[in-house]
Structure 1
Amino acid sequence: MDHMEEQQPISACVEKWDFNWLLHRAAQRVGAAFADEAAKFGISPRGQLVLQALTNEEGQRTQLKLGAMLGLDKTTLMSELDKLERIGLIMRVPDPKDRRVRTPVITDKGRDLQKRAGDALAEIERSLRARFTHEEMAVVRKALIDLADGDAPVHGSCL
């Protein structure tokens, strides 16, 4: 009997144990754990992603370039930037070359919150990875990278 046959379904959706459903369900559970933790800091996982990108950014990046880098459509990104700006975690400054263009910049408050939230989310990830051996995690990671790196276009935001 192989490993999958030994496991018993843990939900009412017994007939949904196909590959797509399992990936979706795993993403829901991981996403919920991250959302719960990020909420403790008054932000969303998407907000943390934006703050992390702004923290790690060596040069300034326009809103348009930030959205493309993160896989966030314009509407989703603007909504997230509005929330982060409203609570003082970022500010948007006009580009000196084109006043219509805005560049999001993380504030000191945003940098501090990003560090604390990032550390807490890293701990959530460590606890999730702890379910697997090092070898299993290497296989999972490779499989997910292979699936994410496809030829077909990807629609929607990364989060």
Structure 2
Amino acid sequence: MTQVTLTASAPGSQDRAGLAGDTVRRIMHLAAAIRHYQDVDIADLGLTPAVARALHELDPDRPMPARHLADQLRCDRSNVTALVDKLERAGLVERRVDPADRRLKTLVVTEAGREVRARVHQVLSDSRLLAALGVDELAALRRLVRKISDCDKG
């Protein structure tokens, strides 16, 4: 019987697959914690995460047809209709006839919607979980995250 001896090149080092797996699990744990804080803060604004994301995707300076919002959210148009209904009931968005094509209705962010959208942007940018990192560490983390997220755009 052949005996295999594994030696580590440095204390605590693992094989690439083990290291990558541990990293993915930690990223998932961090993402879940970020999502939890965001969901709580979004609920404090009186929104659901889906409605907040829809509002965040709308450009307050450029009215948008609902079908374009569906494309941006990568969801079915019927789901967007329900989201827009909620935004409209809350006074954050209005449906208006497109002056360039009267057959189309566009989504227009109201003044109240602009204010809430700015607060949603703050919630989605909350970095409290990264508070322990210095500027150099944050820059390195951003560089690494960009590197792995950009390879998905293939």
TM-score normalised by length of structure 2: 0.70
Structure with greater proportional strand content? 2
Structure-1 separation of matches of 2:22 and 2:42: 30
Residue in 1 that maps onto 2:7: none
Asked whether the 8 Å contact 2:95–2:107 carries over to 1, the reply is yes
Q: Unaligned 5+ residue runs, structure 1?
A: 6-16, 154-159
- Cα distance change of structure 1 residues 67 and 39 upon mapping to structure 2, 3 Å threshold: same
Q: Which has the higher contact order (CA 8 A, sep 6+)?
A: 1
Aligned residues: 136
Deviations 1:12-62 (Å, cap 9, x if unpaired)?
xxxxx63332222211110111010010011134433332343x4433222
TM-score normalised by length of structure 1: 0.68
Deviations 1:86-106 (Å, cap 9, x if unpaired)?
22211122324152x331111
1:80 corresponds to 2:83: yes
Residue in 2 that maps onto 1:132: 133
Structure-2 separation of matches of 1:67 and 1:147: 26
Q: Which runs of 4+ in 1 moved over 4 A?
A: none
**Corresponding letter in the other structure for 2:115:** D
% identical equivalent positions: 24
Higher Cα radius of gyration? 2
Q: Unaligned 5+ residue runs, structure 2?
A: 1-10, 15-20
Q: Helix, strand or coil for the counterpart of 1:125?
A: coil
